[in-house]
């Protein structure tokens, strides 16, 4: 059977790196040499330039321009030369090369109709670049020098969890995969630097939040990796300028690494016990560990004494990690996602995240860009009006789509503005005490931004009030002299709603 377009793209892009690695034995790399920051910075600049030429050439090919093929080939040759040079230089930042290659394969091919679902079940490697560079794959699969697959006991509880993931929870697993691809360049480097396997990060993310950074549990655990307030503060996740850093995917991954490292030290590198501590608390797990004389997680003296939630949690994380490593064995086809390393997008006019998501449509993304916008910009709520010049972190494709579809006067931009404006006006003009204006007295809406008032009710927070009033926390806090990070409110307090 002839290769599909996606495999042709993968093969073309991977060939230079495969050639660079030909004849190299697939052994563990020697101890890393000292880094050369100046050389790494020059490499990063050259890689970005070559990748941009590759993308431009592919876009030109989509438009049928005759010179597109030669432009793509020249960019591929340059990427191959840079990759080979990096492999030959001791201490080179290989992770940068991997990130560029994977971003081009996983993100750009999809935008131009060159991709199909990714699966290792038909001869494709999970990443052709990692397949060409076995030493670089260590932190994908290794934990403390041992293969993660060897550390996961595929016993009855783990198999039962895999059954759940592969049946009614399969959509959640796929959502996690797609959400993670957009955050990978923020979260994965934290694990990589610590030598922790990416599969473990994916497993925890799948069980904790399905890759939604604004997830909040009934117990108050918050963020993509679900830190409780006290634990978050202990590992550096604080309130800064009114923002809960537990929502930040990069900072939460860093805190997660620090927590796991602490638990590995406490529990003799037992993966199950470290995960049990993450879910059920290190105090409880520590007492069982000491009482059992250092038994592992699956020992009945530990496993049998843990609460049901933790006995379920650990197998679910391990099962998701196992499926990440061995999707082909279970008929699992993780889709390619139009992701790539996030870039900065500067807004040209005042917009909300909702408005941006609507005008972007589903161009280049099966389910649209709303979740990626939310996950990459956790500081902003969907109804916050972001002023012109505000810088957002977005997937590379979004910046191009925004310029084309969200400019003032384009059909989708006009439609998006009408929709979100109608929503804001309805909320502002609703009678006091109605379902659209929860929480008290609201003055008349004004297109000129005149002040109105809001009376605080029990259970209100400034963040919730700001969302309901389609305003920013900072604007309301400034108008009422409320100080970060706590923004203390009292029941019956009348707030001035200004600058919205």
When comparing pLDDT for 121 and 252, which is higher? 252
Percent of the chain exceeding pLDDT 70 equals 73
| 188, pLDDT greater than 90 | yes
Q: Which of 32-41, 326-335, 426-435, 461-470 has the highest mean pLDDT?
A: 326-335
Q: What would the mean pLDDT of 328-356 be, rounded to a whole number?
A: 92
**Residue in the structure block whose two tokens are 């500067």:** 346
| 47, pLDDT greater than 50 | yes
pLDDT at residue 100 in the model: 67
Which among 264, 254, 204, 206 has a CA at the least distance from the CA of 234? Answer: 254
| 430, pLDDT greater than 90 | no
Residues 281-290: tens digit of each pLDDT:
999 999 999 9
pLDDT at residue 463 in the model: 79
Q: Which of 20-24, 55-59, 104-108, 217-221 has the highest mean pLDDT?
A: 217-221
Architecture of domain 140-330 in this structure? Orthogonal Bundle (1.10)
Architecture of domain 432-497 in this structure? Roll (3.10)
pTM for the whole thing?
0.62
User: CB neighbours of 451 closer than 8 A, spacing ≥ 6?
Assistant: 443, 479, 496, 497, 498
Q: Which of 258-262, 327-331, 427-431 has the highest mean pLDDT?
A: 258-262
Q: Is 140-330's fold the same as 432-497's?
A: no
Contact 376/185 with Cβ under 8 angstroms? no
Write down the domain spans for the chain.
5-22+34-132, 140-330, 343-424, 432-497
pLDDT band at 19 (very low <50, low <70, confident <90, very high): very low
pLDDT at residue 268 in the model: 93
């Amino acid at each position: 059977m002839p290769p599909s377009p996606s495999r042709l793209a993968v093969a073309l892009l991977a060939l230079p790196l495969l050639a660079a690695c030909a004849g190299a034995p697939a052994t563990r790399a020697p101890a890393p040499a000292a880094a050369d920051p100046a050389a790494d910075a020059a490499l990063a600049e050259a890689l970005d330039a070559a990748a941009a030429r590759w993308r431009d050439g592919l876009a030109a090919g989509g438009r049928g321009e005759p010179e597109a093929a030669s432009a793509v080939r020249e960019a591929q040759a340059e990427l191959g030369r840079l990759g080979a040079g990096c492999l030959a230089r001791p201490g080179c930042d290989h992770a940068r090369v991997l990130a560029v290659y994977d971003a081009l394969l996983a993100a750009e091919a999809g935008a131009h109709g060159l991709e199909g679902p990714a699966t290792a079940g038909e001869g494709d490697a999970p990443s052709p670049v990692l397949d060409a560079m076995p030493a670089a794959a260590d932190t994908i699969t290794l934990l403390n020098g041992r293969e993660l697959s060897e550390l996961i006991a595929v016993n009855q509880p783990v198999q039962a969890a895999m059954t759940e993931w592969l049946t009614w929870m399969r959509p959640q697993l796929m959502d996690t995969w797609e959400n993670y691809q957009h955050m990978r360049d923020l979260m994965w480097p934290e694990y990589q630097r610590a030598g922790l396997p990416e599969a473990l990060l994916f497993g925890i993310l799948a069980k904790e939040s399905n890759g939604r950074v604004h997830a909040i549990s009934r117990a108050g655990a918050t963020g993509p990796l679900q830190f409780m307030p006290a634990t978050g503060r202990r590992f550096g996740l604080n309130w800064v300028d009114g923002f809960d850093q537990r929502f930040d995917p990069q900072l939460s991954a860093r805190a997660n690494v620090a927590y796991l490292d602490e638990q590995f030290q406490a529990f003799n590198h037992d993966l199950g016990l470290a995960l049990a501590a993450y879910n059920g608390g290190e105090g409880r797990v520590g007492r069982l560990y000491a009482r059992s004389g250092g038994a592992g997680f699956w020992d009945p003296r530990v496993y049998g004494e843990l609460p049901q939630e933790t006995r379920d949690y650990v197998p679910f994380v391990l099962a998701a990690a196992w499926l990440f490593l061995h999707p082909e064995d279970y008929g699992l086809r993780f889709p390619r996602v139009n992701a790539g390393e996030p870039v900065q997008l500067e807004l040209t006019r005042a917009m909300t995240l909702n408005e941006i998501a609507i005008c972007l449509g589903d161009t280049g993304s099966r389910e649209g860009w709303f979740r990626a916008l939310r996950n990459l910009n956790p500081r902003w709520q969907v109804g916050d009006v972001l002023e012109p010049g505000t810088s957002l972190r977005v997937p590379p494709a979004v910046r191009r789509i925004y310029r084309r579809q969200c400019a003032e006067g384009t059909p989708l931009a006009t439609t998006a503005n009408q929709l979100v404006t109608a929503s804001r006006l309805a909320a502002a003009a609703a009678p006091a005490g109605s379902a659209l204006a929860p929480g008290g007295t609201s003055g008349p809406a004004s297109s000129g931004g005149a002040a109105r008032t809001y009376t605080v009710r029990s259970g209100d927070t400034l963040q919730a009030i700001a969302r309901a009033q389609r305003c920013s926390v900072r604007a309301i806090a400034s108008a009422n002299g409320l100080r970060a990070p706590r923004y203390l409110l009292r029941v019956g307090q009348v707030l001035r709603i200004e600058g919205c």
